Structure 1
Amino acid sequence: MKNLKKMVKIVLVGALAASLVACSTDKKAEKNDEKIKIGAIQYIEHVSLDNALKGFEDRLKEEGIDAEVEVENLQGDQALTTTAPKKFEKDEYKLVYAISTPAAQGAKTALPNKNIIYSAVTDPVEAGLIEAPDKITNITGVNDAVSAKNQIESFLRIYPNIKTIGTIFSTNEANSKVQVEALESACNELGLKLESVGINNINDIGQALSTLTGKIDAYYALTDNTVASAGPIVAENLLKVKIPSISAEEGQVSKGLLMSEGVDYYEHGRQAADLAIRILKGEDIKDVHAEDNKTAKKKVNEKTAKALGLDLNNENLKDAEIIK
């Protein structure tokens, strides 16, 4: 009888232990099923920044990370850059993804204790985001700098008679001022003249184009958020006066500019996500060094090319993706 009681006791204890283990496993599974919350700040709505967000989200899913990405789109309102990020300061948000220089600057100011990943930033050192790529505090990311000189040299092989290039830039974006300086340097090296017009907001673009079009042979589009948001307007006005265009980023080609050998922002967002994944998996952000953009593509807008009389069989376009 004693042995029977002892056996019953052992069975009961074993069952209880198994029950506790199962309960613990269920709780762990339940915990693993919880979505990871990420805050995203997008400075303005246009194709390039939209693609940087989409690439970021898709890469997280591909990695098997069940993330709820909550987006704050600032619609180009500079005043919101430091106030909007405050909603993501709670512990439930595991990190913040800031798309563009103004968004990243605002996030860094507003969220000193939150891990931040940036993208679509041309010069993160000049913008005050990082001291150096390997000197990281609470913010790291991927820059979208491209060589203006390389792009223009490629463009000149198609349009060798170009003498004057024009560009429009936002006076409110540090990102754009850096690019204008680089573009001017590139033009000087190549013996070209640069005509640039600064704007305060999107409403100034029409007048800026009117100022430029009588002076230039070609147009160079910077990775400027304000100007990019009016991409179709810029493309339409340039086409009216048969001025060819080249863009530092491929998104504007889909909006009517002629060509680009610049940043593929979907892949750019995926690259930023790879940094975020390392942090979400436990790596200290200080060890997640900032990176240069890795993926660029040559793209040509077919409709614009035909309107300008450009032969798509041109030897210099043989590797280009044709955008219908």
Structure 2
Amino acid sequence: MSLRSHRKKPIPIVFSIVGDPKATGIIRTYEDSGKNITGVNMKVDVKEQFDMVKEVLPEMETLGIIYCTEMPQAVVTGKEAAAATLESGWTPLTVSFPKRDLPQLEKIINLLSKKVDAIYIPTDPILDSPANLQTIIHISDKHKIPVIAVAEKFVEDGVLMAVHCDFYEIGRQAADPIVQVLSGVNVRKIPSQKPTIKKLSLNLKKAQDLNIKIKRQVILKTDNIID
């Protein structure tokens, strides 16, 4: 008799390294996934990111937002970024394009850099790839325009800053839904969670290269400094 014939219920799934589970269709809502799945994602609310951006770049007026339309989570977080930009008192300038236009990325960034005070890359696996990210950084650096991203690694790669989750803490946080599942709680009744611990990574060398003065109180808040 096969193992499948003994399995009367689907095995519960608890995720821990997911960018935006709702945008990618993994869950229906944070309260009820609609499926046999729950977990902790990596998404830090854009408004929370921008509250820190205000402290790093207090004179910013126009924010460029760029993403590739092939990525559902990039489209969702890009639109969230545009709304959060307005909430922050800035003017958003959004540039979205299909993957087939990537050969024009240098031209796109060159034009965008002439119109904005900073560039924000939302959760976009295409633009976050090493080659594309370096293109964005290289061109924006020429215009003395800082780039803001969503992960510590990208700050190490040359963007100015990121407010992001901590992977170790995500793993610790995921223990809670796991314990609930093992205790017999229906996985659909366990809400999916966003990270409770967020961190600020700041590239001080890039700030110096771009002639951006970082206040001491901001540096004291920084969890990871790249210099």
TM range, smaller chain: 0.7 to 0.9
Bigger radius of gyration among the two: 1
Q: Match for residue 309 of structure 1?
A: 211
Structure 2, gaps ≥5 residues long? 5-9
CA offset digits 1:137-186 (Å, max 9, x no partner): 22222233323233323323332322211121120122111112211112
Q: Match for residue 60 of structure 2?
A: 162
Label 1:270 to 1:237 Cα distance change in 2 as closer, same or farther (>3 A): farther
Distance 1:303 1:233 in 2: 18
Kindly indicate whether the alpha-carbon contact (under 8 Å) linking 1:130 and 1:139 is maintained by their aligned counterparts in 2: yes
Equivalent of residue 245 in structure 1, options 141, 144, 147: 147
Kindly indicate whether the alpha-carbon contact (under 8 Å) linking 1:117 and 1:141 is maintained by their aligned counterparts in 2: yes
Q: Match for residue 292 of structure 1?
A: 194
| Amino acid paired to 1:302 | L
Q: Is it true that 1:183 corresponds to 2:81 in the alignment? A: yes
* 1:256 CA displacement: 0.7
* 1:242 CA displacement: 0.8
Name the SS of the counterpart of 1:143 in structure 2: coil
Q: Is it true that 1:208 corresponds to 2:108 in the alignment? A: yes
Label 1:189 to 1:311 Cα distance change in 2 as closer, same or farther (>3 A): closer
Kindly indicate whether the alpha-carbon contact (under 8 Å) linking 1:168 and 1:221 is maintained by their aligned counterparts in 2: yes
Name the SS of the counterpart of 1:227 in structure 2: coil
| Amino acid paired to 2:134 | P
Structure 1, gaps ≥5 residues long? 1-90, 93-112
After superposing on structure 2, the runs of 4+ consecutive aligned residues of structure 1 that deviate more than 4 Å are 272-284
Q: Is it true that 1:323 corresponds to 2:223 in the alignment? A: no
* 1:253 CA displacement: 0.8
Q: Match for residue 196 of structure 1?
A: 94
CA RMSD of aligned residues (A): 3.1
Name the SS of the counterpart of 1:297 in structure 2: strand
| Amino acid paired to 2:32 | K
Label 1:268 to 1:170 Cα distance change in 2 as closer, same or farther (>3 A): farther
Q: Is it true that 1:132 corresponds to 2:29 in the alignment? A: yes
Q: Match for residue 171 of structure 1?
A: 69
Kindly indicate whether the alpha-carbon contact (under 8 Å) linking 1:249 and 1:264 is maintained by their aligned counterparts in 2: no
Q: Match for residue 145 of structure 1?
A: 43
Kindly indicate whether the alpha-carbon contact (under 8 Å) linking 1:251 and 1:265 is maintained by their aligned counterparts in 2: no
Task: Provide the TM-score with structure 2 as the length reference.
Answer: 0.77
| Amino acid paired to 2:159 | L
| Amino acid paired to 1:131 | R
Q: Match for residue 81 of structure 1?
A: none
Distance 2:138 2:183 in 1: 46
* 1:243 CA displacement: 0.7
Number of matched pairs: 215
Name the SS of the counterpart of 1:234 in structure 2: helix
| Amino acid paired to 1:132 | T
Task: Provide the TM-score with structure 1 as the length reference.
Answer: 0.57
Structure with greater helix share of residues: 1
* 1:270 CA displacement: 5.0
User: Higher mean Cα deviation, 279-288 or 293-302?
Assistant: 279-288
CA offset digits 1:118-154 (Å, max 9, x no partner): 43332x3454332333424222222333232333233
Q: Match for residue 58 of structure 1?
A: none
Kindly indicate whether the alpha-carbon contact (under 8 Å) linking 1:199 and 1:205 is maintained by their aligned counterparts in 2: no
